[in-house]
Structure 1
Amino acid sequence: MAARHRRHSSVFIVAMTLNIGCFAATGLFQATGRRESVGVRRAFETMAMNSAGRAFGAVSMTLVAGCAVDTPPGALIADPYENINRPIHSFNVAADRFVLRPVAQGYDFVTPALFQHMIGNFVDHIMLPVVFFNNILQGDVEEALATVGRFGVNTIVGAGGLLDPATEFGLPYDPTDFGLTLASHDANEGPFIMLPIFGPSTGRDAVGRLVDFGLNPLTYVTVGGGNGATAATVARFTVPPVVARNENFEIVDQILYESEDSYVTLRAAYVQARRAQTTGGAVDVENLPDIFAE
């Protein structure tokens, strides 16, 4: 069994990738050969082409809804939908237990550590266009140039992103997303939301995920026709979450299966991490306070 190479320790990385892998593994993207679902493909194409318009409408609704939600005294975040969120969380945990976790274990068992590292590098690499667009939308020209430089170096010198010489050249991976872009423009974070499959979020971050989907050039590559596009779509929605689950295996297990109330623990970890990111900070799971300590 290959030793797990943990590249990311941020709670945000853990939370964002915790349940997304079930997208394909639960059957939503079983699209190989003659079993390809034309309905799913067409729905995905429609979502891709109309994402920008829907995102702007969603932003407006989220901001209005977010302003109307008050955080109770002493609470970390408003959670008016907890009675809905908890069953969704239970479903996500079951999906992790029976699908994503075993797949990640199998991936770790059959994949040598060096290949795991290279695959992880490539997963980061293909997200750089989204990072770049958000750098621009945040008005951070310096980071945008650094992102372009990193993409160029790792594409040319790093075997298409499998290697990471850019970090050695002073251009480390510094991810961002549209949720953080909205935060940089003082958009209200809204209430806590537990999304099916995708896991923890806020109103603001839910909008951010939709917009990031539209900003990603791979969206418009993988929604095209042909078996190659189908394979690319499946890989895009399965490989990153499996890699992230494997890299953060012990941490995710600790949150989901070793805490007294995994819903409360995950909510606290996610919200604290996201708020730290909005101020340029970083949060490690190991440094989180024990919310059950007396």
Structure 2
Amino acid sequence: MIKDEPLNNVRGLQGKKLLLLKILNKLPWLILFFTLSYILVMYFFSYMIDFKGSDLLGLGTWLEKVRPGYPLFWIYAFTEGSPTEHIQWTFIGVSLVLAAACFFVNRYFIKKISWGWLLLVLGLALMLGEDYYNIRHKTVDFIANYYNISPATMFSFLHLRTLVELVLYFLLGLLMVMALLLILKDREESGRGKKLLVTGYFFYALASISSATRGIGNWYARVGDFLLGDNKIRMASLVTESPYRGNLGFYFMDFVWEEPLELLGATFIVASLLVFLIYRTNKGQIHIDKR
């Protein structure tokens, strides 16, 4: 009995490790399930409250109190600084930490420098700074104040804003694309992780293309007006604050279409990084066991 006790302890530790690995292996899929469920629930609430006029769970009355100028659930759920954006910011922040972890695992355990992970860390840091702190606006304001460029001189101010946005998005795009290509090129990385990462990039690309082309033919406003249909008149009567008043169709697409795409992109990226890290951890664990 005494001789078997250390062996039982080892088996117990191995059982706990296996259970932990099983939980970790399911975590990426649980995150994906959470986001898909969240988006569907938000869409359902918006449909019932905004389109059907239901006071679902008292949310309609609550919105009239906390958002008297625009008591629409789809604005509350998907606008800037909304619950949707907070989840997205959280996932980008977690992705930043996981990407850094992948870099350090490769550097100190696999003994190689993975430039793809380093570029992804830089890209995610820039993305988080832009999404959370609006660094492009702060940069424009700083340069404008430094060189005394007033918004009243719209020609110069608009050119400055365009230049800053082009430089920032070019740098962000370059970092993210180079990171993706280098990670995909690495044959030692998880194939499943690569597929999830590409999917995350796809959703972000779709959101970016939609945003970049929304002024062509004013298609955001046209499609938004079509989707709102006859409900637009009733919703417009509830909205008293700008910039939403008179632009409901445009903002409907900007919020209800674009924000979920970005959330899906962030979700697939964080899920992919978990898969990459778990894959590396499993490889390291197998190597240690064999020794």
Q: Where on the TM-score scale, by shorter chain, does this alignment land: which range?
A: under 0.3
TM-score (norm: length of structure 1): 0.25
Which has the higher relative contact order, 1 or 2, with Cα contacts under 8 A spaced 6 or more apart? 1
Name the structure with the higher helix share.
2
TM-score (norm: length of structure 2): 0.25
Bigger radius of gyration among the two: 2
